[in-house]
Amino acid sequence: MPENICVNCKNQIDKYIKILNLSTAEVDTLTKPRRSLTFSFPVPMDNGETKIFTGYRVQFNDARGPTKGGIRFHPRADIEEVRTLAFLMTLKCAVVDLPFGGAKGGIIVNPKELSKNELEHLSRAYIKQVYRFIGPDKDIPAPDVNTNPQIMAWMLDEYEKIRQASSPGVITGKPIELRGSKVRDIATALGGAFVLRKFLKTRNLSPEKTEVAIQGIGNAGSNIAKILKDWGHKIVAISDSNCGIYDENGLEIEKVIEYKKEKGTLKGFPNVKEITNEELLELNTNILIPAAMEDQITIKNAEKIKAKIILEIANRPTTPEADSILDKKGISVIPDILANAGGVVVSYLEWVQNSMNYYWSLEEVRKKLEEVMIRSANEMETACIDYKCNMRDALYITSIKKVLATEKLRGVH
């Protein structure tokens, strides 16, 4: 039987084992999830046939509170990926000081191949498999890659039907009508934009003087493109899974997003240069924002990265080996566990609102999000000075220490 261990997590923390002088038990805590669920389940298809899908839910660490993390629908989802993302959620919640541990879920599926009816059946069937293990005080799912508020609505409804009780706090990222939170739809992008704005301000870099390239035009990528354009930045490139587009004079982002919605692709967008995703990553630009999938900046292309600043809106877009190369090149990387934490911050605020049945205005949620992101960015900068290290090392060291301190108080070590 294979051991319940996250191999990628070990690679992620290897350098910190010596720095923090971690014991074997502490390393195990950071690399072995509390609970890893793998299950197969039937879903009826529109043609009358039944298809068997494989799903996952990993609850990595719950020392700091109930676990929290998204559910992704993706054809390449696997248990190791889900474990790794659950580990990163554990650290992310510690970075922004939320009373949550980390979790993640997924289904091996290409949702583009399913009808809306099949997608609903799939979403409800997933909840039937995990409902015993989730709940407002146990584990709280949310949207992730290829999932959205409608899918969360189906999942919430299925959970409440099974439990025969109203339980809005079991899932976040819900539609506003089902007691979701304002700002949640743009939270990941807005949180990252707040951190980037602070970073640039402390270095006297004005928006007008910074060019931005964004890999990914999904929820996070499209929203951060709109936000940064509104703040005066020039967005020179953006991509989808098929191709990228580039214009040195700046893209008209609203038109690009509208074109993508209509055509389903960026191919054929007029009066721009078409480029590959690889070429986008290697553009000579001030700011590069990976906002797509994992492992985009690797040992193969890290030497070719020319951006001065990288804002990681995607989860784990940079491999540890590539990270070392970027550091030696003097590229400032604002890591994912802070840069994209806006999503879980507003998920927390949604959970709080569900718990007390009182709902804040858009302005109040936006203000609370900014406060958390700026406070966390300040803590990161202090840690960089204290430990004489880069931003990723500062965040990993401080978040690991927070998680292990909580475990110690509980008597685990």
Amino acid at position 245, single letter:
I
**Do the beta carbons of residue 102 and residue 68 sit within 8 Å?**
yes
DSSP state of 175: -
* 104 in catalytic set: yes
Tokens linked to 124: 């409800």
CB neighbour class for 409 (10 Å; exposed up to 12, middle 13-18, buried from 19): exposed
Q: Which of 148, 311, 91 is nearest to 221 (CA)?
A: 311
Give the separation between CA 122 and CA 124, rounded to whole angstroms.
6
Question: 104, 229, 234, 260: which is the annotated catalytic residue?
Answer: 104
The pLDDT, as a whole number, for residue 413 is 62
The pLDDT, as a whole number, for residue 7 is 86
The whole model's pTM is what? Answer: 0.94
The tens-digit pLDDT sequence of the chain (413 residues) is 457 888 888 888 998 999 999 999 999 999 999 999 999 999 999 999 999 999 999 999 999 999 999 999 999 999 999 999 999 999 999 999 999 999 999 999 999 999 999 999 999 999 999 999 999 999 999 999 899 999 999 999 999 999 999 999 999 999 999 999 999 999 999 999 999 999 999 999 999 989 999 999 999 999 999 999 999 999 999 999 889 999 999 999 999 999 999 999 999 999 999 999 999 999 999 999 999 988 899 999 999 999 999 999 999 999 999 999 999 999 999 999 999 999 999 999 999 999 999 999 999 999 999 999 999 999 999 999 999 999 999 999 999 999 999 999 998 76
The pLDDT, as a whole number, for residue 294 is 87
Give the separation between CA 23 and CA 27, rounded to whole angstroms.
6
Q: Judging by DSSP bridges, how do beta strands 234-239 and 244-246 pair with one another?
A: antiparallel
Tokens linked to 59: 């609850």
Cα 332 versus chain centre, distance: 20
Q: Judging by DSSP bridges, how do beta strands 273-275 and 244-246 pair with one another?
A: antiparallel
The pLDDT, as a whole number, for residue 1 is 41
Strand partners, 45: none
In angstroms, what CA-CA distances link 300 with 93, 125, 290, 339?
Answer: 31, 40, 16, 24
Q: Which of 55, 90, 88 is nearest to 73 (CA)?
A: 55
Domains recognised in the chain with CATH numbers: 36-169 (3.40.50.10860), 187-339 (3.40.50.720)
Strand partners, 39: 55
The pLDDT, as a whole number, for residue 412 is 75
- Specify the 3-state DSSP secondary structure of 24: helix
